[in-house]
Structure 1
Amino acid sequence: MRDLTNLKTFIIDSKDPKEVDDAFSLELFEGNKKKLWIHISNPCKLFLTDSKIDIDARSKSSSLYLINQYIPMLPTEIIEKANLNQNKISDTISASIIFNDDGSINKYEIVEAKIKPKYQLLYEDAEEIIELEPKEEFEIVEIKNLLLNSINYRKKQGAIIFDTPGYKINIKNGNVEIINIQKSISHSIVSESMILMGYVTSLYLFENNIATPYRTHKINCDAEEILERYKDSDIKYSILKQYMGKSYITTKANKHESLGLLKYTQCTSPLRRYLDLIVQRQVFNNINNIERLSHNKINELIDITKIKQLENNNIYKNDKLKYLNIFFKNEIKTSHKIIFIKWINNKKGIALVYFPEYSLELLIVLFISVETYTNKIYKVKYNISNNNLLEFIH
């Protein structure tokens, strides 16, 4: 167990998060050399594999974050114990990374640790510190520089950075609203630290010949050519996704081409994703000389969670559809701007479109004659129907 409570540790998250499972720190050594620490909460030490808590989490596969409801994967008391919080001493699985000048990894180490976060920041607060660069908070500025350099290195290895805004469906005073979320540097550095944690964890498990669910992704197209061809289009990344293959999970380590990594596993959300919990358990057991799960057991868990996750995805989709119906039904505007992406079923009028006003990519029923893969704006009207999808007419 490594005591890292002396490090100035940062948590950056959204407002009122239910599960707080990641943080990072900067350590200076040998003068001005820099070591990035990434910390992930460690719930797996609180219960055993195949215990009632574990089996129940497995049956859920993940926490459900619905528009107006939260269903946790783990019991509330486990989440409260494992959550990282400001000034709370917490158990973690932590990785230290020393970078080369070009942003590649020179050396890494994974340990069981204790941390005591000093700051718990909203993304907006972190963004302000990054912009102002106060001397007393130089650590977060240095962390930003290291992580932006890492992103640039991955880009050179073929990584695709989907630089697009997002959205959130929210309920305020009983009204449904769509909030645009612009991607900031603080979002980018949190995302990059999580990607790096997944990468070094995959290296650790591979080098120690430990079974794990690796995530693999092969790009089945010339991504640079597509992005160049549609460089002026608001939907260039949506178009690219239509050409790229899907990622999949297997116990065989292969490249994750869209991340620009030789191998990759997801491990940064053990409080809300069951396979992340399993990855963490394999690391924890290896550190503590406890028997690891076999390849057959990992394959079995991948199959179980895959089926359940499909069910969860349908729950997400139907929940989103319910509130989007309410939003468009009550919206004062009579028409909405869309950019057409592609027909899913031309005969039935099912199309994938992008609403630029809301940064919303959506499957809808559409009655209109369109040109594919252009940046042309169409104005459509919401049509109340009993369809399984939102319906719009010209």
Structure 2
Amino acid sequence: MNLFFEESGDFKAGVVLSQQGEAYQVELQSGKRSKVKSKDVLLQFTSPTPQQLLEEAQQIAQAIELDFLWEVAGQEEFGFAELGAEYFGHAPLPAEAAGLLLSLHTAPIYFYKKGKGRYKAAPEASLKAAQAGIEKKKQQALVQAEYVAQLKAGQLPEAMKPLALQLLFKPDKNSIEYKALEAACNELQTSPQRLMLTVGGIASPKQLHLSKFLLEFFPKGSGFPKIVIPAVADLPLAPVQAFSIDDVTTTEIDDALSVQTLADGKVRVGIHIAAPGLGIKRGDALDAIARQRMSTVYMPGDKITMLPDELVEAFTLAEGKNCPALSLYATLDPVDWSVVSTETKAELVPISANLRHNTLDELVTEDNLANDAGEYPHKADIALLWKWIQVLEQGRMAKRESFGLRPEQNNRVDFNFYVEDEVVTIARRKRGAPLDKIVAELMIFANSSWGKLMSDHGVPGIYRAQGGGSGGWAAKMQVRMVTHAAPHQGLGVDQYAWSTSPLRRYTDLVNQWQILACVEGGVAAPLVAPFKPRDADLFAIVSGFDAAYSGYGDFQSNMERYWCLRWLGQEQAQHGTRQVEAAVLKDEILRLAEIPLIIKLPGMQQLARGTQVKLDILRWDEVELTVEARLLEVSAAPSAEAEQLEREDEEEISEELDAAMDMPHETVDAPSEDAAGDAAAEPGSAIEEIKPLTE
């Protein structure tokens, strides 16, 4: 006797060797023996052989017309043998019964299984819906195959053109477009980004990086809605002639300076900050725009401003205009340059000049200042400010050392990025030039003074604090944002509130509102300030700003790295060489001498930090932003600058190294970085590009 039975969802046939109770010992065609329970037996037969039965059943199943079988089945539940008699017109033979069962089993949209060998025909509506779904999948499979063929041929299907960014960064993995892209990438052994670049879905690696950032942070686009420029109340005109100092590409001019010699011989220095806070009010449409963006986004050759251009134009401290400003005046005794008093007021400030680094840096040097050499605008004012800021710096260093920190190092090199017609120029610039120092020290002075003003009036603000935390040394020295006055040990000040860049940082705009409340409200400031003590919304702003600023910083670093790689390509095209000089930062991490490009050289011999080496750049990838190189020779021992770095604490290693190691970073030894960010913060230079994002 032979049996046709179901086992693990599959149909099998075999010869019965023995029977014991409700179980059979069955031998299959392969020779394998199985124990089959009687409840799993569907047919008992003597002929044909089990193998012949299975072969004939397969042929019969393929010949059965499912639509006709579905009509014959009716709407009641049935057993396969019962349906067989109806379908074949006679009691089905073993092979016919088995073939019918195979057909029922493999057509789940026509027949629903109700038990062992029992089925029920699907309702007509359900069947039609299922058939439509199957047809749709067939058509989609054909379309998908066509998409794959086009992609492999280097063509982007029309339907995928508007979806290019979504497919790369936020794909619907169930869509046929994504499945086609994935299949094509698998067949071509490439990544979606590279394939999309090949077929023209993304114009260039630069556009790839920019598009990814915009999709995440500006999903609705980076443009602005139409706005109405707010009116500013009548303000007194300041009796000064102020001037700004910025990079040549700066358009958001936040700060300017002025100097007056008073009748009693004392000196009055004005620090004038653009005052959009006089026009923008908390909760209005312009505030919503600024708060949504939180900051201007910088990248070499471009930027995405926090505020619309026409609003920036209305409040930027442009040459030849009387500009609304929040001014901090410091009255100084020139005998020892001590601060006699300070005063804050809102006023119109005449801007006599917008001075630029590219025209003045070579003239305003320490030697020229010491010898009264050279001719340039506001020479006497700059010379006087130079004397005062050296006293300010000494005071900060003393305070910094009182916190247990070493004096800051100003002998490192910054890099300026300039991009024109997709050609990048990267220029070295030593940190701590006189003009940098003047602006840096005065912005630190203003941010510290205004932080104290808010604290003294009981008005909360957004402060940058460093030191005094818990955990290890690095954790204690991490820069954090708080809503109360607290020391910034790295800068050497008792409190530090970002207040000097309200055109490009939302935190500064918020603080400007609070400072204005102190000026206008006096002792009633806590009652009239836009943000009251313990205002939960202020904490939300701090959290939102941190998240946005971190994301913007990562993007900025990636774009700088991209342009460094483009620079390598330019150099190779112009000079035909890939050999470059570099310096060891730590272990296997190096930085190129001519550009701020960090690379890792796995397996490199142990060399002291600052050791000069020559590298052969083997290849670089503008998509992945990676570089491969090999060490050619060790050129020179560490420089004096490197030896100084070696003596610093390990935690005080440069921000570039932290970035290369994929570590979050905040520098603790460069207050001029923060101030330089306040002073410039425009695309085109490392001061502008990197420093606004660090302390």
1:288-299 to 2 correspondences below 5 Å: 288-289=520-521, 290-294=528-532, 295=534, 296-299=536-539
Match in the other structure for 1:38: 271
**1:170 counterpart SS class:** strand
Kindly state the Cα deviation for residue 327 of structure 1 after the two structures are TM-superposed.
1.5
Q: Residue 314 of structure 1: SS of its match in structure 2? A: helix
Q: Secondary structure at the residue paired with 2:351?
A: coil
* 1:319-366, Cα deviation, whole Å (9 max, x unpaired): 1222222222332332222222235xxxxxxx54332333x2x44332
Distance between the aligned counterparts of 1:258 and 1:54, measured in 2?
32
2:483 pairs with one of 231, 241, 251: 251
1:300 pairs with one of 521, 537, 540: 540
Alpha-carbon distance in structure 2 between the residues aligned to 1:206 and 1:125: 40
Kindly provide the amino acid, as one letter, of the partner of residue 365 in structure 1: K
How far, CA to CA, are the matches of 1:352 and 1:97 in structure 2?
Answer: 45
In the other structure, the counterpart of 1:150 is: 392
SS at match of 2:341: strand
Alignment map for 1:36-75 (pairs within 5 Å): 36-75=269-308
Does the 8 Å CA contact 2:584/2:591 hold for their aligned counterparts? Answer: yes
Aligned to 2:599: 364
SS in 2 for 1:187: helix
1:104–1:153 CA contact under 8 A, matched in 2:
no
- Which structure has more relative contact order (CA 8 Å, sep 6+)? It is 1
Structure 1 residue 147 displacement after superposition: 1.6
The residue aligned with 1:231 is none
Q: Distance in 2 between matches of 1:99 and 1:157?
A: 20
Per-residue deviation at 1:244? 8.7
Range moving further from structure 2, 204-213 or 243-252: 243-252
Bigger share in helix: 2
Asked if the contact 1:336–1:355 (Cα under 8 Å) also holds between the matched residues in 2, the reply is: yes
Partner amino acid, structure 2, of 1:107: S
> What one-letter code is carried by the residue in structure 2 that aligns with 1:276?
D
Q: TM-score, normalised by structure 2?
A: 0.49
Tell me the residue number matched to 1:176.
424
Q: Are residue 5 (structure 1) and residue 238 (structure 2) matched?
A: yes
Counterpart of 1:207 in structure 2 is 456
Structure 1 residue 62 displacement after superposition: 0.8
Match of 2:586 among 342, 347, 355: 342
In the TM superposition, 1:115-154 aligns within 5 A as: 115-127=349-361, 128=363, 131=368, 132=373, 137-154=379-396
1:59–1:305 Cα contact (<8 Å) kept: no
Q: Is the 8 A contact 1:329 1:382 kept in 2?
A: no
Deviation at 1:102, TM superposition (A): 5.1
Contact kept, 8 Å, 2:462 with 2:483, in 1: the verdict is yes
- The verdict on how the C-alpha distance between 1:265 and 1:31 changes in structure 2, with shifts beyond 3 A counting, is same
Within the candidate set 375, 391, 394, 2:610 is matched to 375
What is the distance in 1 between the residues matched to 2:327 and 2:290? 23
How far is the alpha carbon of 1:283 from its aligned partner?
A: 0.9
My pick for the range that moved more, 135-144 or 113-122, is 135-144
| Correspondence for 2:565 | 325
Looking at structure 2, the residues matched to 364 and 321 of structure 1 have their Cα atoms a distance apart, in angstroms, of 10
In structure 2, what is the equivalent of residue 111 of structure 1?
Answer: 345
Aligned alpha-carbon RMSD (Å): 2.7
Q: Which runs of 5+ in 2 are unaligned?
A: 1-233, 401-406, 522-527, 632-695
Task: Give the C-alpha shift of residue 74 in structure 1.
Answer: 0.5
Question: Residues 80 and 379 (structure 1 numbering): CA distance in 2 closer, same or farther, change over 3 Å?
Answer: same
Q: Is the 8 A contact 1:365 1:389 kept in 2?
A: no
Q: Larger deviation: 162-171 or 11-20?
A: 162-171
- Give the greater-gyration-radius structure (CA): 2
User: In the alignment, what sits opposite 1:238?
Assistant: none
Distance 1:334 1:216, change over 3 A: same
